[in-house]
Amino acid sequence: MSSREKILSAIRGISIPQKSLPDVPDFRLSGDLEEGFIQSILGNKGEVLSMDEFIRWLPSMHFSKVISLSSHFKNYSTITLPEDPHDLEDLGLAILDGQFAVAENGAIWLEDSNLGLRALPFITEHLVIVLDRNKLVETMHQGYNLIGGAKSGFGLFIAGPSKTADIEQSLVIGAHGAKSLRVVLV
Amino acid sequence: MSHPENATEFLKDQAKAKWHDETLWFVRDKRDRISKTIPEWEQLRELASQIKDNVLANLGSYLEDFERNALQNGIIIHWAADAEEHNQHVLRILREKNCKAIVKSKSILTEECHLNPYLEKEGIEVVDTDLGERIVQFLNQPPSHIVLPAIHLKKGEISELFHQKLHTEKGNEDPTYLTQAARIHLREKFLGAKVAITGVNFGIAETGEFVVCTNEGNADMGVHLADVHIACMGIEKILPRRKDLAVFLRLLARSATGQPITNYNSHFRSPSPGKEIHIILVDNGRTAQLSREKFKNSLKCIRCGACMNTCPIYRRSGGFSYGSTVPGPIGSILSPGLDMKKHSTLPFASTLCGSCSDVCPVKINIHEQLYEWRQEITKTHGEFGKGLSMKLASGIFKSPLAYKISGSLMRSALKALPDSLIYHPLNTWGKSRNLPDTPNETFQQWYKKNRS
């Protein structure tokens, strides 16, 4: 008997009273949606910029390698997306479009179609996500309603920059992934 | 070694033990504060518990759904009855890919299966990429906490370790500096690995996808650069529906560290073109636990670590004192199911205060199961140590005269006897405990004087 059969037949041999799957209520959030989102991102150690603030900030950083896949900043790439993600090793900045974001925790949803390469938002030194301010939802429940049955091979919620507190619980930003997250609300 | 013996070791460094206690309480307090900002918090816990009840009652069919959907998505599925078979699957995949070095993100399951020593024996370099896990790996230690693997170490120790291993400046204890050094060191490993291993937080039956949550981004750095992603998943990690993730992701990070969500929550449904995703579905004692009516609910655990942070025993004895992969209250109800003899002292490493059950995001009745394990263990292995004194006490309490006489004897004896006798090594209760001052009169005497 294969292990698959062994495990499944062991489970079938255990009688457990049936328990029905509960319906999950559509829990909401009180307060201003945009303000809630901004506070969440700040709490996760990200920043929120307006379009103007972003345009002023960008030249001050003197990035040599930038990849923008954002529909709002089409001409900002200084290099083309490589085929092999290893070639992104010294990427300074990635600019990506987020699909929607959740106010209660700042989580922004991106899928393969936004990422170019799945490694992009992680390997880049700094990350900017551009988000339509009309695409904010209140809680994760509405978030998953929006995702619905989407069939992207990969999708993720990004809520902040890479961080760790593994040394004496001291928060350090920039563990392995992007050292900063800036969200541009448009 | 038993839990009390290990705890004694931990408590030798009193300053560090105090720091450990206070730091974990701080994390527990953060959890409390953030949970209070969600009006439906208790409803979410109840929902999570009910969803997991449904999973446990239908685990077989959910696993078959999960497998079928994952296969359709182009994921390769393996089943492992035990740790040995799990490790063999990993090794076989690595051999097929001619891979000699792998990166691994946090996976309690691979710790449970002792994957690292197994692969290292076969000449494969395993690099744990979570910062805390890399630190303990350098020390040849297991993690002492499932969410905070290096919580038993102070920054001075990590500084010294990194000075030896990564040639950082001697004496530089700045966490930012040390983290940056680890970033540079691990980036090289990420770029060089052809195979990356991760754990799984949740597997979704209806879609065949799985979710991995990190703050560091190390799981994603590993798998998106590698050609092959191996995801190691306990069979109890199943959720029925994608939308159930909303409930669990709202609870997980808030319970674990008091943050609203982990910064990266990756949903893997199918591999990138030209790459492979493997899932190893592992039993290793889980079906046996499912068959134990009193203990099956322990399989609802989502590994947030909240029960450890709140536990007065864990905070004051450290993760290593438990001698099991998952320490703390939840570990003390999971581990006896794997090896009752080896872990026989763990269910006693609790005050049964119930705080673990109160903070558990999936409402596992942890303290009640600890009590139940005590009954099982006492039945199987007999009583420990306290047998004689308990029999003596039983005799005294049964006879009113003996009770009266012994009471007055004890009051005078405790005043007269030297400490060396009261805190004699044979009296295990005297260890780390001070007796209160003895009263001058009995309650009966006091009552006669004041109330009659």
pLDDT one-digit tens code per residue, B416-439: 777 766 666 666 666 667 777 788
Say if the Cβ atoms of A177 and B264 lie within 8 Å.
Answer: yes
**Integer Cα distance of A133 and A121 in angstroms:** 21
**B356 φψ region: left (φ > 0), alpha (ψ -120 to 50), beta (else):** alpha
Q: Quick check: is B246 in a domain?
A: yes
**Predicted confidence (pLDDT) at residue B72 exceeds the cutoff of 60:** yes
Cβ-Cβ contacts under 8 Å for B219 (sequence gap 6 or more): B105, B106, B129, B196, B198, B212, B264, B266
Clarify whether residues B78 and B23 are in a common domain.
Answer: no
Clarify whether residues B73 and B120 are in a common domain.
Answer: yes
Clarify whether residues B107 and B233 are in a common domain.
Answer: yes
Q: Quick check: is B51 in a domain?
A: no
Q: Evaluate whether A102 touches A141 at the Cβ level (below 8 Å).
A: no
List CB contacts (< 8 A) between B291 and chain A: 10, 13-14
- Closest chain A CA to residue B176: A172
pLDDT tens digits, A76-99: 999 999 999 999 999 999 999 999
Closest partner residue to A158 (CB to CB) among B79, B247, B263 is B263
**Predicted confidence (pLDDT) at residue B383 exceeds the cutoff of 60:** no
**Structural domains in chain A?**
27-185 (3.40.50.10420)
Q: Quick check: is B53 in a domain?
A: no
Clarify whether residues B372 and B231 are in a common domain.
Answer: no
Q: Quick check: is B422 in a domain?
A: yes
The sign of the dihedral angle between the CA atoms of B373, B376, B380, B381 is: positive
Closest partner residue to A85 (CB to CB) among B225, B241, B264 is B225
User: Which CATH number goes with the domain that contains B248?
Assistant: 3.40.50.10420
Q: Quick check: is B23 in a domain?
A: yes
Clarify whether residues B118 and B203 are in a common domain.
Answer: yes
Clarify whether residues B94 and B198 are in a common domain.
Answer: yes
Helix axes B244-257, A140-147, angle to 10 degrees: 140
B74-87 mean pLDDT: 98
- Asked if B156 has any chain A CB less than 8 Å from its own CB, the reply is no
Taking only residues 24 to 83 of chain B, the set having a beta carbon closer than 8 angstroms to any beta carbon of chain A reads: 26-27, 40, 43-44, 47, 50-51, 53-54, 56-60, 63-64, 73, 79-81
**Integer Cα distance of B185 and A179 in angstroms:** 16
Q: Name the strand (E) or helix (H) holding B179.
A: helix B175-192
Angle at A172 between CA A170 and CA A176, to 5 degrees: 135
Clarify whether residues B223 and B133 are in a common domain.
Answer: yes
Closest to B55 (Cα-Cα) out of B183, B187, B204: B204
Clarify whether residues B363 and B414 are in a common domain.
Answer: no
Q: Quick check: is B389 in a domain?
A: no
Q: How far is CA B102 from the centre of its chain?
A: 25
Q: How confident is the model at residue B264 (pLDDT cuts 50, 70, 90)?
A: very high
Clarify whether residues B86 and B198 are in a common domain.
Answer: yes
Clarify whether residues B317 and B169 are in a common domain.
Answer: no
Q: Which two tokens stand for residue B132?
A: 């805390």
pLDDT tens digits, B274-295: 999 999 999 999 999 999 999 9
Per DSSP, the three-state class of B251 is helix
List CB contacts (< 8 A) between B44 and chain A: 27
The sign of the dihedral angle between the CA atoms of A10, A11, A17, A18 is: negative
**Predicted confidence (pLDDT) at residue B126 exceeds the cutoff of 80:** yes
Q: What is residue A18's predicted lDDT score, i.e. its pLDDT?
A: 96
- Asked if B84 has any chain A CB less than 8 Å from its own CB, the reply is no
Total structural domains within chain B: 3
List CB contacts (< 8 A) between B64 and chain A: 8
Clarify whether residues B171 and B202 are in a common domain.
Answer: yes
List CB contacts (< 8 A) between B242 and chain A: 144, 147, 149
* A170-to-B148, B250, B316 alpha-carbon distances in Å: 12, 24, 21
pLDDT tens digits, B394-419: 777 778 787 877 777 777 777 777 77
User: Which CATH number goes with the domain that contains B311?
Assistant: 1.10.1060
Residue at which a domain ends, from B360, B384, B408: B384
Residue at which a domain ends, from B236, B264, B284: B284
Q: Quick check: is B145 in a domain?
A: yes
Q: Quick check: is B52 in a domain?
A: no
Say if the Cβ atoms of B57 and A165 lie within 8 Å.
Answer: no
The sign of the dihedral angle between the CA atoms of B21, B22, B26, B32 is: positive
Q: How confident is the model at residue B268 (pLDDT cuts 50, 70, 90)?
A: very high
To which residue do tokens 């560290």 refer?
A: B257
Residue at which a domain ends, from B250, B284, B318: B284
Clarify whether residues B379 and B261 are in a common domain.
Answer: no
CB pairs < 8 Å spanning A and B? 231
Cβ-based neighbour number of residue B408 at 10 Å? 12
Among residues of chain A, what percentage have pLDDT more than 90?
99
**Predicted confidence (pLDDT) at residue B353 exceeds the cutoff of 80:** yes
Q: What is residue B428's predicted lDDT score, i.e. its pLDDT?
A: 64
> Residue B239 is part of which domain span?
40-46+58-284
Say if the Cβ atoms of A44 and B240 lie within 8 Å.
Answer: no
